[in-house]
Amino acid sequence: MVLARDRLLGAGGTRSAGPSGHRLGPAALREALADLHEFWLTAHAAQAGVGGRGGGVALLAVGGLGRRELVPFSDLDLVLAHDGRKPVDAVAERLWYPLWNSGVGLDHSVRTVGEALDVAANDLRTALGLLDARHMAGDAEVTVRLATAAREQWRTGVRKRLGELIESVRKRWHRAGEVAHWVEPDLKHGRGGLRDLAILDALALAQLIDRPGQDVAAAHTLLLDTRTELRRVAGRARDVLRPQDGDEVAGALGMADRFALARALSGAGRTVAYALDVALRSTGATGPTRKVLGLVRRQPERRPLDEGVVLHGTEVALARDADPGKDPGLLLRVAAAAGRTGHPVAPIALSRLGESAPEPRAPWPAEVRQDLVALLGSGEGLTDVVEALDRTGLWARLFPEWGAVRDLPPRDAAHVWTVDRHLVQTTVNASRLVTSVSRPDLLLIGALLHDIGKGRGQDHSVVGAALATQVGGRLGLPAADVAVLSAMVRHHLLLPHTATRRDVQDDATVERVVQTLGGDPVLLELLHALTEADSLATGPGVWTDWKARLTAELVDRARAAMAGTPLPAEEPLDDAQKALAEAVARSGRPDILVDTVDRLSTITLVAKDFPGVLSRAAGVLALNSLEVHAATAGSHGGAAISAFSVTPRFGSLPDPALLREQFARAVGGSLDLPEKLAAKERDYGGRAEDAPEPKVLWFDNEAGGPESAAVVLELRAADRIGLLHAVADALERSGVDVLWARVATLGGSAVDSFSFAAGTTPGWRRAIEVAVLKAAR
């Protein structure tokens, strides 16, 4: 048999020929290998004493031979099943030993039908394997009895095993990575590979899902053909496709080169992975349950997440009255909610959005851009959301420039991801660094776009900078921000290349970096964070302690040469705010002013000036589910003024009379804001598990001036409903009299500045910093 197999594969495993001498295609080769092994096993089983009908002993094939998907150099998975009426040890020895001696890989077992079923009941791998059982030789009635019972046992018991199945799948994915995005994909075990296709078949056999469609079948054929040709090219058992084998495998499959093959495999892997994700969710293994008349019934809960967006069971779905065709911001609100909560978007919601969600009209409204930044800052949840949107064409609707990098394999051997996944992974890494920069929104958008120029045959940094200008304008960023974004993409390699190839202590090296960046400390700060995020997303060992240290030293020297960051400043009040402050100072009664343009409202809350007004004003807005995008606080004529730019998280703006009444109660002390806000945060999900740690920076109004000078504390933290209230309250409890404040919420991040008089006691800064950081966590 080994000699015949080698003839099929060709000398050295490099060519395979049929009887006429023509090279067999991958499907024909698998057929030939299956026929060869079946013929040999049938003949050998008869010699070993595996009797025919009524003999009570049968030889079954499972695995690749059971499915007739036998690829070159596969092990044989065989079961010698019997009815227990007579000993079969001698038969088994005569059957197995020649296979061992021939060098054929063998995974075998000898069991009665009952024993096989008992093992399958406790071992998931055995249970799945028996679903492919196929008769080879001996008593066919034994095969039928075992195969039928195994499938029935699977159908009736599968729901109790779904947790075990999902856990085993996730562990395998963690070990083997992804077919769609890894440079060296594991065609069998990787996410979106052949093992996942077997899981889909098993779920369909149990009637938990429909049979996979034609797109999954086409992906199956490509993965199986690639695995067949890989083993033929390698001349041995191998399931990981390496770049050095890619061209030859691609040629055997009629493709231009390894890059064409990689893109095709990426598409196939996406198709299979998405199909399995949907299948596992549709089983309802993790959904809530309730008992009705003694029976367990699944009752999905609906909880609002954003305007037009709800959590339906374990999936993010559209609210019943949501209209994707008339709401251009709905797509990104759905995506941001999915990223924030870690729950997938429901397939029916994706379908509705794909059918009718328009691309936001350029320039994008501020609230739509905020939702994009919130999505990009959602951490690990971003990956699956982008994958779902990309599969349905929705991501390209938002970013038409994405097509050139989609499934694009990298040319650099250091990269482990396809270019599109590298961009997403860089953004995930950047979300953990948002507290290290003053413009987290630009960091996240820049991370997403830094390699967008690849795949176009020119310097990707130059092309990418032009594309970033195009995207930034479409997103509605101010011209100055578009310039910074473009510069980030153009110079995203400046710091790592300079730090590792030049002397960072040389003044000329530092001056070159400063001139290249136009002396902009904000751009320098952004590039420092982007360098780390990009390096971590490239591959193992790219971001080392040595590289991090050199880059940090270069940045410190360049920052010193740029003479620091501009100090945040107080914003002036307009005439209406001053007039309201003067009226409140005369009457003593708190009051509010509401000015609304589209969905964005400016709410000014004014009360007599005393410590605590800012925190109470912020708490009232949070209590009414108003999302703060920017805020200023100051005083005029003895009144404290807090002005907030807000949009409602759900529905419309609350009645101003209600806000006025609640604010008056909060100022008077009869409204328990901390308790009510804590409950609201719990309902809304609270702080994300992987949120970046908050960071505090200090600025002196007079550099090197006396301790009595005013200072500015800047907090950078992940945003949440009650953040501003908690931080302002912490400052007030620390005895700080806030002179003015500026708040900016950028997607899921907040950059809040507070000015107050410097303390005179030792350690005053540290005490305030500890209180603020505790409140921000």
Q: What is the DSSP string of 13-57?
A: GS--B-TTSPBPPHHHHHHHHHHHHHHHHHHHHHHHT---TTSSE
Q: Are strands 106-112 and 76-82 parallel, antiparallel or unpaired?
A: parallel
pLDDT mean over 597-614: 90
Strands (E), 537-609: 591-597, 600-608
104-113, 569-578, 662-671, 729-738, range with the lowest pLDDT = 569-578
**Helix and strand tally (H, E) in the chain?**
30, 17
pLDDT mean over 745-765: 89
pLDDT mean over 339-358: 92
CA distance 727 to 714: 11
Residue 566: pLDDT band with limits 50, 70, 90: low
CA distance 129 to 78: 10
**Could you tell me which residue, 174 or 680, shows the higher pLDDT?**
174
Per the CB < 8 A criterion, the answer to whether 409 and 421 are in contact is no
Cα–Cα distances in angstroms (integers) from residue 360 to residues 245, 324, 325, 475, in the given order: 43, 11, 11, 9
Look at residue 707 in the predicted model and tell me its pLDDT. 42
Beta bridge pairs of residue 289: 298
**Could you tell me which residue, 192 or 288, shows the higher pLDDT?**
192
What contacts 544, CB < 8 A, 6 or more positions away?
none
Per the CB < 8 A criterion, the answer to whether 492 and 461 are in contact is yes
710, pLDDT greater than 50? yes
Residue 8: pLDDT band with limits 50, 70, 90: low
Global model pTM greater than 0.85: no
Residue 295: CA count within 13 A, CB half-sphere = 4
Other residues' Cβ atoms within 10 Å of the Cβ of residue 359: 15
Per the CB < 8 A criterion, the answer to whether 53 and 274 are in contact is no
Token pair for 577: 């705010």
CA distance 222 to 14: 20
- The closest of 407, 405, 495, 493 to 454, measured between CA atoms, is 405
Angle between helices 214-234 and 26-48 (to 10 degrees): 70
Token pair for 607: 């009360």
Per the CB < 8 A criterion, the answer to whether 306 and 649 are in contact is yes
Look at residue 285 in the predicted model and tell me its pLDDT. 57
Q: Is 302 helix (H, G, I), strand (E, B) or coil?
A: strand
222-226, 289-293, 687-691, range with the lowest pLDDT = 289-293
324, pLDDT greater than 60? yes
Per the CB < 8 A criterion, the answer to whether 475 and 450 are in contact is no
Look at residue 293 in the predicted model and tell me its pLDDT. 37
Per the CB < 8 A criterion, the answer to whether 425 and 417 are in contact is yes
275-322 pLDDT, tens digit per residue, is 999 898 888 654 444 343 343 445 567 788 888 999 998 899 999 999
pLDDT mean over 49-72: 91
CA distance 503 to 329: 48
CA distance 337 to 322: 15
Q: Is 290 helix (H, G, I), strand (E, B) or coil?
A: strand
What contacts 434, CB < 8 A, 6 or more positions away?
377, 440, 443, 444, 692, 716, 718, 748, 749
CA distance 377 to 572: 31
Q: Which listed CATH number (3.90.79.10, 3.40.50.300, 3.30.460.10, 3.20.20.450) goes with 2-160? A: 3.30.460.10
- The closest of 353, 371, 367, 519 to 444, measured between CA atoms, is 371
Residue 540 Ramachandran class (φ > 0 left, ψ -120 to 50 alpha, else beta): beta
Residue 211: CA count within 13 A, CB half-sphere = 2
Residue 687: pLDDT band with limits 50, 70, 90: low
What contacts 637, CB < 8 A, 6 or more positions away?
578, 581, 582, 585
Per the CB < 8 A criterion, the answer to whether 577 and 643 are in contact is yes
Provide the percentage of residues in the chain whose pLDDT is more than 90: 72
Provide the percentage of residues in the chain whose pLDDT is more than 70: 92
CA angle 375, 676, 643 (to 5 degrees): 65
CA distance 567 to 563: 12
Helical (H) or strand (E) element with 588: none
Look at residue 18 in the predicted model and tell me its pLDDT. 53
User: Could you please report the per-residue DSSP string of 93-151?
Assistant: HHHHHHHHHHT--EEEEEEEHHHHHHHHHH-HHHHHHHTT-EEEEE-HHHHHHHHHHHH
Delimiting residues of CATH 1.10.3210 domain(s) in the chain: 399-562
Phi, psi values for residue 78, rounded to 5°:
-125, 145
pLDDT mean over 478-492: 98
pLDDT mean over 617-644: 91
132, pLDDT greater than 90? yes
Other residues' Cβ atoms within 10 Å of the Cβ of residue 478: 10
Q: What is the DSSP letter of 508?
A: H
Per the CB < 8 A criterion, the answer to whether 338 and 315 are in contact is no
Is the domain 399-562 a CATH 2.60.40 member? Answer: no
419-460 pLDDT, tens digit per residue, is 999 999 999 999 999 999 999 999 999 999 999 999 998 999
Token pair for 413: 């051997």
Prior bond of 363 cis (ω within 30°): yes
340, pLDDT greater than 70? yes
Look at residue 708 in the predicted model and tell me its pLDDT. 45
What contacts 659, CB < 8 A, 6 or more positions away?
592, 594, 603, 605, 620, 621, 624
Token pair for 616: 């109470």
Residue 706: pLDDT band with limits 50, 70, 90: very low
- Give the amino acid at 404: A
Token pair for 477: 């960023």
- Chain-wide mean pLDDT for the chain? 90
Per the CB < 8 A criterion, the answer to whether 599 and 616 are in contact is no
Helical (H) or strand (E) element with 769: helix 764-776
CA distance 593 to 580: 8
CA distance 475 to 449: 13
pLDDT mean over 41-66: 89
Per the CB < 8 A criterion, the answer to whether 94 and 28 are in contact is no
- The closest of 628, 651, 618 to 748, measured between CA atoms, is 628
3-state helix, strand, coil in the chain (%, to 5): 55, 15, 30
pLDDT mean over 340-350: 92
372-407 pLDDT, tens digit per residue, is 999 999 999 999 999 999 988 999 999 999 999 999
